Amino acid sequence: MHDNKIAAIILGAGKGTRMKSDLPKVLMPVGGKPMIRHIIDTLKELKVDKIVTVIAPDGEAVKKEVSPYPTCVQEKQLGTAHAVMSARPELCCFHGDILVIFGDQPLYTKDTMKKLLQKRREGYSVVCLGFRPKDPARYGRLVMNGNNLERIVEFKDATEKEKAIDLCNSGMMCFDGEKLFEILGAISNENAAGEYYLTDAVEIALRMGLKCSAVECPVEEASAANTLEELALLEELLKKRNIQKGK
């Protein structure tokens, strides 16, 4: 990783409602520390230049947890692309690579992040992180053509042929920092939910004549926690990993 600067945007505005908790989701503990802290520790290992966390208007607790790193407030929850756009005040003049990470996915490793960054530096403006779950049912599919990512198709919009693709979208992405906000600015919210989706960045980038790609990570790294069951699963996966590491 030579002289390229690296920034990371952590999306931490989600509420812990399905966790039956008043704690913001990213503060739910896994392995004795908040999920978001795992991500920050990994980013520190990677020696990133800037870490920005997007928080909800009432996100004081998250702000405190990530301090001294800066936070930006997503005033209204208008979708994932809108959340990333909220980090613009901190990163509008950033030249380098920008990783976008969901704050409820604490198991990504430094190696996986490096893989994304290396692929990005091969001349791609957007690189998605894929994984192959045993049950790909509800995930968006990554439609590849050789090394090029042609689109991300949501399961409900997928043709039978696309549903047969087992490479799924994990959520983590890496962008060319100089193009990120231009791409996000072109995303529309003309969909059933009226939200701005980060996954639309691929289609927009291609329309702008830019190249997109994807790399793959082990399935357990892409695990997210939306429910208490999923949180318990993360706990198990982390234990297993620490045993393998001999911790």
Q: For the chain, give every domain's residue range.
A: 6-245
Q: Which CATH topology does 6-245 take? A: Spore Coat Polysaccharide Biosynthesis Protein SpsA; Chain A (3.90.550)
Quick: pLDDT tens for 115-129.
Answer: 999 999 999 999 999
State pLDDT tens for residues 16-73.
677 777 888 999 999 999 999 999 999 999 999 999 999 999 999 999 999 999 999 9
Q: Are the C-beta atoms of 103 and 53 separated by less than 8 Å?
A: yes
Query: What is the DSSP secondary structure assignment for residue 156, as one 8-state letter?
Result: G
Measured CA distances, 66 to 7, 123, 234 (Å): 15, 32, 21
Using a cut of 0.75, tell me whether the model's pTM lies above it.
yes
Instruction: Convert the pLDDT of each residue in 160-187 to its tens digit.
Output: 999 999 999 999 999 999 999 999 999 9
SS (H, E, C) 167-232: CEEEEEEEEEHHHHHHHHHCCCCCCCCCCCCHHHHHHHHHHCCCCEEEEECCHHHHCCCCCHHHHH
